[in-house]
Structures are given as C-alpha cells and as structure tokens.
C-alpha cells in the first residue's frame, strides 16, 4: 500500500503556511465543502482529523494481520501481537515512557476512571503491601483544580464518595490562570492525590506541571496529569515532568476513536489493584481466586483495540516527523492571532489570558447578546466548524460567569487564512442577530 506522508523537515525550521498547505494534502476530509463553503475545521480540541497514513495503518492491519493478540501460536496471532506491542513501544517513546508503563484504554476518560477506581479498590477489602499507598479514607484529601474537564473531576468525586476522603480544588484567577499561592496553601500533609490538566480545554492556559508535581511530591502525594490537550500539541515527556500518572486520547492526536492511554510509573502500576478483570490479565485462575499479570497487561482485560493502537502509533510517527516543537509554535502563533482578532471585535469577550500571554492554539469566547449555539450555527453556515457549549467544564464556566461559550481550536493543518476567515465571520455575528450596538 502506498505511503502518504509529507516530507520530514528539520525541527529548527518553523512551520509556515506553505508547508501547512502541503500537510493538508494528507487529510482528505479537509477538501470537504459545508453549505457551499470550503470547510474551515477549528474543532480539533474536540476531535482531530486523520491523515492518510493513519487510516492506511488501520486498514493494513485488517487486510493482513487481523487476529487476537497474546492468545494464539499461529502466524496471524503472532503478527497481530507484534503490531500491538510495537505500537505500545512507539507511543510510549512518544511521551517519554517505558513500554511497560503504557496501558491501552478506550480514551482518557476511561484512563482516569481506571486510576480512580483502582485507588478505590485499594481502599476496601483486604489490601496489603505496596497497594496500601493508594488507599484513601476519612481525613485524606484529593485535590483538583477549578479548570478541570468533567473527566478529571467526576471520577474523583466518586472516589471520595466511596472512601470518605475530601475533594478540594485549587481556584483560578479571573484570567483563567491557576492560583499558585492557593495551590501552595492547599497541598499539604492530608493531600493524597493531585489531579490536574496540563492545558485547559477552555482557556488554553498551560499549567506549570513540573512545579505542581514538585509541590505534591514534597508531601508524598500522587500526581495525575490530564494530557488530553497537551500530548497532541506540544512536546510531552512524562518523566521530565515527574508525574506519576498521565492520560491522553488518540482521537485528539490524529488517531481514530476508541484508543487512548494511561502512563504510570512501573512500580506504581505493578502495585495497583486491577480495575477490569477477566481474560488476558491473569496468571492462574481457580474457582476460588485469581492471580494477575504485571502491568500493563493487568489492566487490559478482554479483547484490546488492536487496529486502533496501530493507527495511534502511525499518528505519533506523523507528529514526531513533523516536529512537536514546530507544531506547538505554529499553533501558539495561530492562537495569538485568534485572540488579537477577537479582542478587536466589539462585543466579544475572550476567556483566558489576553493576547501576548502564552496559551495553546485555541480561544473560547462570548458574543454579547448572542447565545453560543447561535454563534456556532452562524459560523457553520459559513463553513466554519467550532465547538459550542460548556466544553465539559461547567464549574469553570460558572466561575467565569457563563453557561456556555464558543471555542475555536487549531492544529497543524490550519492556516492563517482560515483563522482570518473565522475572525471575519465572527465580526458579522452581532449584526446578523440585530444586537444593539453592532
């Protein structure tokens, strides 16, 4: 099967519109027209598009290697297992982890639930030894932030409900940045878990991960990082950031849906009780009890997302070959272009840091007098795809005085012309809806 990938460029060379236009040739869906207009896809923060090389990797698996992994001795089973484990090695290296420190999951939400429910399993029953490190009880505290996606909030709410631990949160400033003074005051001897996002999916704020990790480790707390909005968009090294766990989703980083990952320090994963149980994660089973494999297999019960893992490996190769630093710099420039343009439009309130302050390549905003859903439909009529609603972050929106916002998010395949088309369309929203002052 023919390979479809743009030429590799040296990492020192900045991305520009000319190269981005070549990159776009790898993404057939970007040729789509919406309502007679060229598609401007600014919703990669929700789900990214797939290059041909990723789609081909999944197709090739089904055409040539489809079989169950870790189960058979026949040729196809061995080939499938090789693809599956090679993919693990590729993706683990992409985030700076060892092979045995990457657990496949359905997505990041499943990964966060895996961690939280495993901690819960360590908190009940006859758990002894190293697993006691994860046990929570009355008097213990789990600490999150006010900017969390629901996926990194509700599992901890449930864990605290089951164990009697207390859930607390680090507040944010009015510009969406984390209150680090409050963080220093809240992280203490009672803190057992600090769970926070690397990049806010609403404001684009990039949190100081290494600093927060150091503060948590001073009190022997475990650090759980939501890397959904960072793994696709900037260089990620979980060892350098010194986090204990991290989660990410493939569908936000050029891969298909149905695949994601949990990074965990090897010694921690091996000590954690399993979350899902069944086939493929056991050593021996009797009618009375079972023994469990070491990580990562102890957390991978049942049939795994084999073709999706192969496709995710192809996606990380595509990102690596393009250069994560280059991608981050390009998106940061697009994000600043969006924020500057939005700030210049009357009746627009941008959430998060003002222009000139570092942020990811996304911008959420409020249009005075127009509901976010109406804004989204207006933009869709112009062929521009954005996200509307609370973006699975109701507490954050409530803190900012809103029920919903409109979010435009970029990726390596977006051009400055697309950002300008988006800004021109936003400038016409209030006039179209007859809002006073427009």
In whole angstroms, give the CA distance from residue 264 to residue 244.
6
Cα–Cα dist 91/315, whole Å: 9
Q: Point out the catalytic residue in the list 30, 79, 293, 392.
A: 392
Active site residue 392: yes
DSSP E strand boundaries for 32-180: 33-34, 37-38, 40-41, 102-105, 141-145, 166-170
Q: How many CA atoms lie within 13 A of 42 on its CB side?
A: 34
Quote the CA–CA distance of 127 and 215 in Å, as a whole number. Answer: 28
Rg (C-alpha) for the chain, rounded Å, is 22
DSSP secondary structure of 198-258: SB-TTT--B--HHHHHHHHHTTT-EEEEE-TTTTTTS---HHHHT-SEEEEEGGGTTSPSS
Cα 252 to Cα 45: distance, rounded to the nearest angstrom: 7
CA angle 311, 393, 164 (to 5 degrees): 100
39 and 422 Cβ atoms separated by less than 8 Å: no
Query: Kindly report the CA angle at 403 between 399 and 404, in degrees rounded to 5?
Result: 110
Question: Own/partner pairs for 1-9, CB < 8 Å, 24+ apart?
Answer: 1/56, 1/59, 1/60, 2/56, 3/53, 3/56, 4/51, 4/52, 4/53, 4/56, 5/51, 5/52, 5/53, 5/318, 5/321, 6/322, 8/321, 8/322, 9/322, 9/323, 9/326
The catalytic site residues sit at 392
């Amino acid at each position: 099967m023919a390979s479809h990938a743009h030429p590799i460029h040296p990492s020192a060379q900045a991305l520009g519109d000319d190269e981005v236009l070549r990159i776009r040739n790898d993404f057939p869906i970007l040729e789509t027209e919406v309502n007679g207009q060229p598609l401007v896809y600014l919703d990669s923060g929700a789900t990214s598009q797939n290059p041909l090389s990723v789609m081909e990797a999944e197709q090739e698996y089904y055409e040539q290697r489809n079989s169950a992994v870790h189960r058979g001795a026949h040729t196809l089973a061995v080939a499938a297992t090789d693809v599956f484990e090679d993919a693990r090695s590729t993706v683990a290296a992409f985030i700076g982890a060892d092979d045995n420190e990457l657990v496949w999951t359905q997505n990041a939400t499943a990964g966060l639930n895996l961690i939280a429910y495993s901690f819960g399993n360590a908190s009940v029953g006859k758990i002894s030894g190293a697993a006691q490190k994860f046990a929570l009880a009355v008097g213990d505290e789990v600490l999150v932030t006010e900017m969390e996606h629901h996926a990194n909030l509700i599992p901890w709410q449930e864990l605290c409900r089951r164990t009697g631990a207390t859930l607390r949160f680090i507040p944010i400033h009015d510009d969406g940045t984390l209150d680090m003074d409050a963080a220093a005051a809240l992280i203490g001897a009672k803190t057992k878990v600090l769970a926070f996002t690397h990049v806010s999916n609403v404001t684009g704020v990039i949190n100081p991960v290494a600093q927060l990790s150091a503060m948590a480790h001073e009190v022997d707390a475990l650090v759980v990082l939501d890397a959904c909005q960072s793994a696709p968009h900037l260089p990620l090294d979980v060892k350098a950031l010194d986090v204990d766990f991290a989660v990410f989703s493939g569908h936000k980083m050029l891969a298909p849906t149905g695949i994601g990952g949990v990074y965990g320090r090897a010694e921690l994963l091996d000590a954690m009780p399993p979350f899902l149980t069944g086939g493929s994660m056991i050593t021996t089973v009797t009618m009375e009890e079972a023994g469990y494999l070491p990580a990562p297999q102890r957390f991978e019960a049942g049939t795994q997302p084999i073709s999706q893992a192969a496709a995710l490996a192809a996606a990380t190769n595509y990102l690596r070959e393009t250069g994560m630093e280059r991608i981050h710099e390009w998106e940061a420039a697009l994000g600043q272009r969006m924020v500057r343009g939005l700030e210049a439009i009357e009746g627009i309130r941008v959430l998060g840091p003002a222009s000139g302050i570092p942020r990811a390549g996304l911008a959420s905003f409020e249009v005075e007098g127009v509901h976010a859903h109406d804004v989204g439909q207006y933009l869709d009529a112009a062929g521009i795809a954005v996200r509307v609603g609370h973006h699975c972050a109701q507490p954050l929106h409530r803190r900012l005085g809103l029920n919903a916002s409109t979010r435009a998010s970029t990726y390596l395949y977006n051009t400055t012309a697309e950002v300008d088309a988006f800004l021109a369309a936003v400038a016409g929203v209030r006039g179209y809806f007859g809002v006073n002052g427009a």
